[in-house]
Chains A and B, each alone.
Chain A
Amino acid sequence: MTAEQQLKLQALLDGELPEKEARETAAWVARDAEAADLARELRQTRQALADAEPGLRVAESREFYWSRIERDIRRLEQAPTLSQPVSVLARLRRLLVPVSAVAALVVIVLATGLWVGFWGRPIRPDTEMTMADSGAFTYHDYANGTTLVWLDYPAER
């Protein structure tokens, strides 16, 4: 029996053949012992499956089983979905976020440029005096590369 004949026989049993082809195939099965045996086996297997589909049941209680479904439904209902219409404000916000980021970047670059200057030298005063804390006084001379620190209390021994 060829593979094609086997599948045709199966299609006959499944009611998938057109009427004329079904008649021809049935006649062939009637006169071919091998085909008849195969047809019987396929029918029996089909019957066995129909009789014995596992009768499984959900082991969890009705309430417990439902509780997870309900929780997921509520969670999904609260979450924004893509299918929801997007408001004009939301669209504007979506547009403004990257624009703001770019603007902030430009400001930073410009500020850095001012600080560094066009010649690559930091723009800062030649000297600077700062109070580090209540008792210390720092003097920086950038031109000479000097830093002096005055302490107005005695050093610890």
Chain B
Amino acid sequence: MAETDLSSADDAALVRAAQKWDMGAFEELVARHRDKIYRRAYSMMRNEDEALDLSQEAWVKGWQRLKQFQRESSFSTWMTRIVINLCLDELRKQRRQRTGSIEELDEDSGGVERQMPAVIVNPTERLERGELRQRIDRGLDQLSYEHRTVLVLHEFEQMEYKEIAKAMDCSIGTVMSRLFYARRRLAAVLADLKDAK
């Protein structure tokens, strides 16, 4: 595909060209979607360097598996699934390398969040967008990777419970429990009721 056509071509045309090993077309796809892929990696890893490495690794995998892309979803969704799987693999690996803390065990059983009264006042109303982002960032940082990942996949990727369960290799009940815990904990951080820092 000629260079002038690349920027005007839609994703489908670029994917078709890339499937015929047109690296210029693939480079254009990378340029278009790299921020989204990086963002997803960051939301799961909470570390810029790891997110950058994994996002680039995802593109390499994407190129290698491009023939398998069947257009059942958009190209960016397909690529997002690749980076999510890479992040999950990496997080599992990191988890295996360290011992689960007492706090993490408490999280799995629900902890105090089950008994916590609901946050009555909308905590987001009085917050500037920047401050809201900071608090969400802080809340996500405080979650274990299992809880954060469930939240990210459900809220940012709109994945259903069963899809998340499959991706994370756990039961739907576990997904529901983790999601509930993550939301409640995040609500507490947004309302500034509980600040771990």
Contacts and interface: CB of A to CB of B under 8 A. Distances in A.
B16 interface: no
Given A38-B118, A54-B43, A70 B27 contact: yes
A50 B56 CA distance: 26
Contact of B160 (A16, A58, A60): A16
B134 to A, nearest CB: 9
B85 interface: no
A47 B124 contact: yes
A141 B151 CA distance: 89
Contact of A56 (B39, B59, B117): B39
Given A44-B119, A53-B39, A3 B110 contact: yes
B119 A41 contact: yes
Q: What bracket does the count of chain A residues touching chain B fall in?
A: 35 or more
Interface residues of B, number: 49
A63 to B, nearest CB: 9
A66 interface: yes
Contacts of B173: 7
A7 B132 contact: no
Contacts of A44: 119, 122-124, 187
A6 B155 contact: no
Given A6-B114, A37-B118, A57 B38 contact: yes
B142 interface: no
B124 A72 contact: no
A65 to B, nearest CB: 6
A66 B31 contact: yes
Given A7-B180, A10-B179, A46 B155 contact: yes
A68 interface: yes
Contacts of B156: 49, 53
B6 interface: no
B81 interface: no
A69 interface: yes
Contacts of A40: 118, 120, 122
A27 B104 CA distance: 35
Interface in B117-174: 117-120, 122-124, 129, 132-133, 136-137, 151, 154-156, 160-161, 173
B56 A68 contact: yes
A37 B120 contact: yes
Contact of B31 (A10, A48, A62): A62
A84 B173 CA distance: 42
B56 A11 contact: no
B34 A51 contact: no
A14 B161 contact: yes
B120 A69 contact: no
Nearest to B59: A69
A47 B183 CA distance: 11
Contacts of A41: 118-120, 184, 187
B63 interface: yes
Interface of A: 3, 6-7, 10-11, 14, 16, 34, 37-38, 40-42, 44-60, 62, 65-66, 68-70, 72-73, 76
Given A41-B118, A57-B39, A70-B23, 4 more contacts: A37-B118, A46-B155, A53-B136, A57-B35
The 3 closest A-B pairs by CB, nearest first: A37-B118, A41-B118, A48-B124
